[in-house]
Structure 1
Amino acid sequence: MGEEEFELLITVVVAADDGEHSRGACQRWLDRIGGTVVGSRDCSDEEPGCWAVTIRRHSGVSAVPGDPAGLARAVRVFVRTFCPRAGVPRIACEPPVAWTVLDDPEVIGELVPGGERMLVEAWSGVTAQLPPTGQSADAAPRRTDRNGKPSSALRLRVDVAAERVTAAEWRARVLAARISRRATIIGSAEHQGLQRVELDLGLSTEPPDGAVLAGAAALGNTGWSELEYRDRTAVVRWAADPRPASGIAALELCAEPAAERGDDPESPAGHGGHPEAVADPEPAQRPAEG
């Protein structure tokens, strides 16, 4: 079995008034560690006046998929490199994930202004079943309708072989970040022995067919179905064969005319308020086993 490079998810709980301020507070930290912001959410119900910002980056650590020692090493290397004052962390591991919580506001506040605590996770197999990353849909050439407004509303359905829905949501969210930084989990449920996660990817300036093809290219070009239509909704699908015991089992990417869904063209995510917000697990708790 070959090796894989593990993915890191770093979630910082920061005192902030809104999502924009929380991401701004994390900008210097993001510049230092590299990576991409894949979500921010209001966590004031658990931490009054706080937001949780999640960053995805490569770990630089490779090992056999799901290897507990390799996962723990990925977390330890990150903490020692970027959070040396945190000392040697206590790391928990339940493959496909290892994690630690840094719960020292003084130390975290030196890294992120207003930072309260930090969750560092290393994940195995988040996108192992998919082809290599293609061109980002955000970087693809775009067209608008004749009024210059967004023309498509995108959704992604991810079926994950996982015991618990929280692990499936993590995998689905990281996958959706290849297409859009505005991905929002809108529902999840068990379906035929899999965890099914539905995500709203926001609006695209591409027409429906162009939007789904650009999205499929961002996820990887191999193994997708032919483009088809359900009424005016463009759809493409991907399925793992054979179905994996753990990981991404199937995808469905669809786009419908934005006008039919009634989205506000001035709101890039079609939700208003916080278009880049993504449903995150509580950073203070360990993620669920996948």
Structure 2
Amino acid sequence: MVEQDLRLLVSVVVSAEDERQAHAACRDLVDRIDGRVVEAGDCSDEEPGCWSVTISKELRSVEVHSDTRGDAAVLARVVRTFVRELAPNSPLPRVCCEPPTAWTVLDDPEVVGKLVAGAERMLVEAWSELAPYPERQPVAEQPEQPVPAAAEEPLTRLALRVEVAAQHPAGAQWQARAVASRIVDSAVITGVVQRADRVSVHLDLGQRPESPDQAVRTASAALGHPDWSPLDWAGGTAVLRWTDLLMPTTGITALELTAHRPDPEPEVVWPTEDEPGPWSEPRS
């Protein structure tokens, strides 16, 4: 049995004209839970007039029985306890767990509106502090990576698709980032597709030194789900898929990992003086 520090993140989507107004709307909640705002972002491209405010709260150490990536039961219990304290008379929504994090989404406007004026929904996450934690702060610009020498194998590009049973794209993106954090420290959302009650979130997980088939196997092992599909190939792309056979009405329903080596850029052959390019003046 070991002691583990946990952190709560509460992300609120609130109607606001600017960051100052968004902060002001969440001030009472920040004081109530003794937290601090770690990020505020304009999400009006998804929902006009909305801002997302993320509040962090550190928890005292708790005892767990598992490894350093976090105990699922402890993480889920922390989320349930916190939500019950916030809204004791409201039904408890389903808690999803993908160690090192567990989360739930409150999307009842009546419940959320009592906690934060003008709020539309709220995401509550518990993170294990011993696991890689995605600090929600601007990422410093990374120096350019050296181009591999011609004799070296090209790097593999790894991608993840997360299928989420959700009504709102923002909630699905939060859950997809939580899954991706088990593989990489930073993932980039490249696309969001919504249809009916499902949202597909596509993420770029960066480049890997392994071959495509080894890259998806390593990533699937990090995610830890059983019953992955056999390795499939689509052209030069390696594919692994996982589907929740219970088909839950909320939370993650399917995952797809893909990896490929980008085609080399074609060599540019510049015209010589005797072979003018298309921009050259016609010869007399």
TM-score, normalization: structure 1? Answer: 0.47
Name which one, 1 or 2, has greater alpha-carbon Rg. Answer: 2
Identify the structure with bigger relative contact order (alpha carbons < 8 Å, sequence gap 6+): 1
